[in-house]
């Protein structure tokens, strides 16, 4: 039985989306056991009238909610009775619980997990790895996307190792093509950090290192993993999201400006829906923390039930595949190893 906590508050559609997502995941995976944290009355109301295997579902009362307005460092200290922090503390303290899924504040979740959960053996710093859809219908993982704004080359190598094992074990991608984000593709490009990381990645056996990647190539489908410091990874992912959204807004604004365009858009309605679906976060699960002692998955704040279910499945697969022990075994092969 794999036990996973679902933090049921803090998202735009909480707690309904969280509860419904949890019930779907529960139905599909017979060896899954879920613990829902949050205001018990609200959770019982959301569960009321729904059919599920009550022997594999538990509700833990946690009346507080961490919002995006809460400063992460304050939230993890002051809101111990929140659905998120109660979840993190249970995860830390109970050996038989494998992971946590949350769609609440990213800052609080990452800070809480880094501060309260231990690291896997050998990990210098846990990293945050979201998955983006590529234009060829595949996916690409960006690691680190913002958990560590200051890194060294040894950390970048660890990010590559952890992300490679993650994509292999959870997404079934063999030898994921792993590139280093840089200002040009030629070897020798970039600052001292990038040059050192390039050398380390080349000699890392379990990483299928394909060289430098320029950011304009992110969605091309030529890469499975992009390794970067958290500052530029944050710029990379947020610029991609921002540009795509601004372009859709521009299109929409123009379409409404003339009747002819509206008719054209009507003919293309299905196409636009397909594009929106394709770009929709809901369909790609969550971002994972790699390197913490237990599994942590962060879904998008606007996650609906289908997306919460995907996040739970990610956490489930991470545990089922033994990702944590595999990461520890691989990191032990290299220098810059911290006990």
CB nearer its own copies, residue 24 or residue 178: 178
Residues numbered 118 to 137 that lie near its own copies (CB under 8 A) are: 135
Residue 152 or 328: the one with the smaller Cβ distance to its own copies is 152
DSSP strands (E only) in 182-254: 208-213, 225-227
What is the CB neighbour count within 10 angstroms for residue 335? 7
Minimum gap (Å) between residue 278 Cβ and its own copies: 8
Of 186, 7, 206, 192, give the one whose Cα is nearest residue 88.
Answer: 7
Closest C-alpha among 274, 157, 153 to residue 205: 157
Largest interatomic CA distance in the chain: 66
Window 277-296: contact mask with its own copies (x via CB under 8 A)? -x------------------
Please enumerate in sequence order all residues whose Cβ is within 8 A of that of 66, keeping only pairs 6 or more positions apart, or say none: 9, 10, 75, 79, 82, 83, 84, 85, 104, 105, 108
Residue 192 contacts its own copies per CB under 8 A: yes
> Given the complex with its own copies, which of 54 and 267 has the nearer CB atom?
267
Q: DSSP letter string over 53-104?
A: -GGGEEEEE--B---TTS-HHHHHHH-TTBHHHHHHHHHHH-TTEEEEEE-S
Residue 57's nearest CA partner among 46, 70, 68, 71 is 46
Give the shortest CB-163-to-its own copies separation in angstroms. Answer: 18
255 is a contact residue toward its own copies (CB under 8 A): yes
Q: Given candidates 80, 252, 258, 276, which one binds its own copies under the rule CB under 8 A? A: 258
**How far apart are CB 229 and its own copies at their closest, in Å?**
9
Closer CB to its own copies, 52 or 231, in the complex:
231
Site for its own copies in 260-279 (CB under 8 A): 260-261, 263-268, 271, 274-275, 278
Q: How far is the CB of 287 from its own copies (least distance, A)?
A: 14
Subset of 208-237 contacting its own copies (CB under 8 A): 214-220, 230-232, 234-236
Residue 174, phi-psi category: left (phi > 0), alpha (psi -120 to 50), beta (remainder)? beta
Binding site for its own copies (CB under 8 A): 107, 135, 146, 149-150, 181, 183-184, 190-192, 194, 214-220, 230-232, 234-236, 238-247, 249-251, 254-255, 258, 260-261, 263-268, 271, 274-275, 278
């Amino acid at each position: 039985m794999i036990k996973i906590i679902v933090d049921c508050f803090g998202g735009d559609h909480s707690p309904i989306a969280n509860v419904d997502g949890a019930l779907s995941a529960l139905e599909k995976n017979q060896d899954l056991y879920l613990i829902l944290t949050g205001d018990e009355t609200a959770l019982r109301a959301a569960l009321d009238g729904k059919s599920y295997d009550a022997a594999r579902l538990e509700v833990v009362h946690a009346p507080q909610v961490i919002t995006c307005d809460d400063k992460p460092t304050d939230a993890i200290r002051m809101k111990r009775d929140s659905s998120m922090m109660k979840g993190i503390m249970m995860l830390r303290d109970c050996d038989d619980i494998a992971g946590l899924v949350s769609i609440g504040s990213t800052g609080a979740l990452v800070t809480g997990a880094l501060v309260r959960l231990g690291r896997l053996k050998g990990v210098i710093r846990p990293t945050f790895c979201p998955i983006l859809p590529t234009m060829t219908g595949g996916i690409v993982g960006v690691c680190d996307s913002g958990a560590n704004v200051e890194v060294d080359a040894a950390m970048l190598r660890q990010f590559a190792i952890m992300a490679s094992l993650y994509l292999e074990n959870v997404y079934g991608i063999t030898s994921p093509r792993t590139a280093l984000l840089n200002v040009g593709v030629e070897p020798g490009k970039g600052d001292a950090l990038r040059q050192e990381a390039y050398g380390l990645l080349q000699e890392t056996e379990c990483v299928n290192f394909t060289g430098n990647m320029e950011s304009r190539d992110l969605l091309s489908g030529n890469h499975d993993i992009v390794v970067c410091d958290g500052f530029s990874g944050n710029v990379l992912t947020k610029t991609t999201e921002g540009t795509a959204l601004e372009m859709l807004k521009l299109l929409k604004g123009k379409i409404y400006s003339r009747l002819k365009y509206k008719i054209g858009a009507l003919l293309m309605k299905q196409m636009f829906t397909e594009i929106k679906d394709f770009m929709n976060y809901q369909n790609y699960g969550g971002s994972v923390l790699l390197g913490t002692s237990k599994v942590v998955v962060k879904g998008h704040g606007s996650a609906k039930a289908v997306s919460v279910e995907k996040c739970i499945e990610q956490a489930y697969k991470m545990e089922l595949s033994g990702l944590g022990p595999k990461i520890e075994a691989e990191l032990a092969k290299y220098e810059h190893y911290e006990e």
